[in-house]
Structure 1
Amino acid sequence: MKESLHVVCPRCTSVNRVDALRLMNHPVCGKCSAELLPGKPLEVGGDAFEKHITRSDLPVVVDFWAPWCGPCRMMAPAFETAARKLASSARFLKVNTEREQALAARYGIRSIPTVVIFKGGRERARRSGAMDAASLVRWVEQFTD
């Protein structure tokens, strides 16, 4: 692992450099003092989405979902649990495909929920369909090294 990592602030989207050994110690943003790794999914769109996937050294786990989707609503608590468990090793984002149709189209989202893992700005893995928390954590851990 690198000595320091770039982490995008969930509030102001500033890019922060954080010592890798301090990721477990609740680091805060140097610009706005928000907790950098809050342990919960962030609802994002457009520019914030781009910044998180391209500027963060942490893997970024994205749930493409819609409010009318039953399986999406069913998986939401599992996604939150996984975000808590993996707070210091991955960033969890939620993209509402109803509001962010262009983003969903750009990434070829054809069914929801679809979970995509980005690392280094590139897509590394994708799964469609609801997952329970344990399965989601196991799947994400494959990409957090």
Structure 2
Amino acid sequence: MSNILCPHCYGVNRVPDQRIGEDPKCGKCHKPLFSAKPIALDGAGFERFVSRSDLPLLVDFWAPWCGPCKMMAPAFEQAAARLEPRVQLIKINTEEQQSVAARFAIRSIPTLILFRGGSEIARVSGAMDASGLVSWTTKQL
């Protein structure tokens, strides 16, 4: 069984591991747990996902004024479609969530951090294409 957080209501769902790939729905709001799109979170949502999710989380720390971040956004979406349901992809706007960015000492953007079990397991800075994102994430797991 794995704890999977709903991207819509942030409810915690216990899903049997063998059923994760079967388009599970949230027990609280009944929406899909996976949408093949990155989840934009605020600080509280980020804390909830990192502390409660059993799935690895790939977090893109970005800003709206950042050219490389804008260039990588479509690739990050494509990577979400390829990595879910094994990994959930999250976006943190460092302009709006400065405390989260400071906590993880984000010095350049885009920065990607991979979390598992509430802990950072890998980090890389710089834009990547979808294949690079999928390859880097898979190698880290």
TM-score (norm 2): 0.97
Structure 1 segment 4-83 matched on structure 2, within 5 A: 4-83=1-80
Letter in 1 for 2:14: R
Runs in 1 of length 4+ with deviation above 6 angstroms?
none
Q: Is the 8 A contact 1:7 1:58 kept in 2?
A: yes
TM-score, structure 1 as length reference: 0.95
The runs of 5 or more residues in structure 1 that have no matched partner are: none
What is the aligned-residue identity percentage?
Answer: 52
Query: Please, which runs of 5 or more residues in structure 2 have no aligned partner?
Result: none
Query: What is the aligned length?
Result: 141
Amino acid at match of 1:71: P
- Cα deviation digits, residues 88-114 of structure 1 (max 9, x gap): 100100000000011100110000000
Q: Superposition RMSD on alpha carbons, in Å?
A: 0.8
Question: Structure 1 residues 58, 143: CA separation in 2 closer, same or farther (over 3 Å shift)?
Answer: farther
Distance 1:74 1:84 in 2: 17
What is aligned with 1:97? 94
Q: Which amino acid aligns with 2:101?
A: A
